[in-house]
Amino acid sequence: MRLEGKVCAITGAASGIGRATALRFAAEGAAVGLLDVDEEGSAETAGMAESAGGKVFVSSCDVTDEASVVASLSGVVERFGKLDVVHANAGIELFAPLTMTGVEEWDEVFAVNVKGVFLTIRAALEHLMDGGGSVIATASIAGLAGAQFQPAYGASKAAVVNLVKNVALDYAASGVRANAIAPGIADTPLLEKVFGARPEGEMREFMEGIHPDGRMAVAEDVANAALWLASDESSHVNGTVLVVDGGLAAGPQFPLEKLLG
């Protein structure tokens, strides 16, 4: 198993990418700390992991609150004796152009997506620097280039990318690696929250069609990337961004068959 003997903590573990990552890590032999404000969702994730033989620890965690983050990560260490991997995954989306983005909305996005990642990584480093380990943050391709109607979200994810690079530089000598994953459009509960429902019909056809490989990502695609970054297979990978988007960020995808008749 690729994570046998490792202890991993994941924020936003109650659903979507966080849940898929927790299940993937547990299946590969890791003991997993599930951190989320959604206690019911975390309990469901824990039940799924335990039914597959995984070892889990559940903690209610508000990533925007320093004391909550410190207590949750300390709980993981107290339960399992150490920390090898942290996946700062919790995040929220805001779909609105800048003139329709309120100050409170902007602040909320940055509180969760940037402050939350900062607090999570900073608290985890206190444990990781003892024996080294892997820091993983969920960014987005919206943080690598402009994205329509996503100024707050894109700016927050760009901050995550830069934060990870700085952590990689500052703590490599302590045996800590830090990398980010940049998903494209992922078919997860977060997407449902943005649109109010799961995209179907013409909307889904459009969203899938702009990807060169013809589909949106699923949570498991990102979880597989996180597994590699958490494992020793990526031991010489540090300060980078792993894009998981089916080629979406490579360039625009045009329906040439229609344009060329």
List the catalytic residue out of 153, 163, 188, 226.
153
Residue type, 9: A
User: What are residue 125's phi and psi, to 5 degrees?
Assistant: -60, -30
Q: Is the dihedral of CA 245, 249, 251, 254 positive or negative?
A: positive
Q: How far apart are CA 166 and CA 178, in angstroms?
A: 9
Q: How far is CA 111 from CA 62, 118, 147, 205, in A?
A: 11, 10, 20, 33
Active site (annotated) includes residue 153: yes
Report strand pairing: 176-183 vs 241-244: parallel
Q: How far apart are CA 124 and CA 140, in angstroms?
A: 22
- DSSP 3-state of 159: helix
- Terminal Cα-to-Cα distance of the chain (whole angstroms): 51
* Residues labelled catalytic: 153
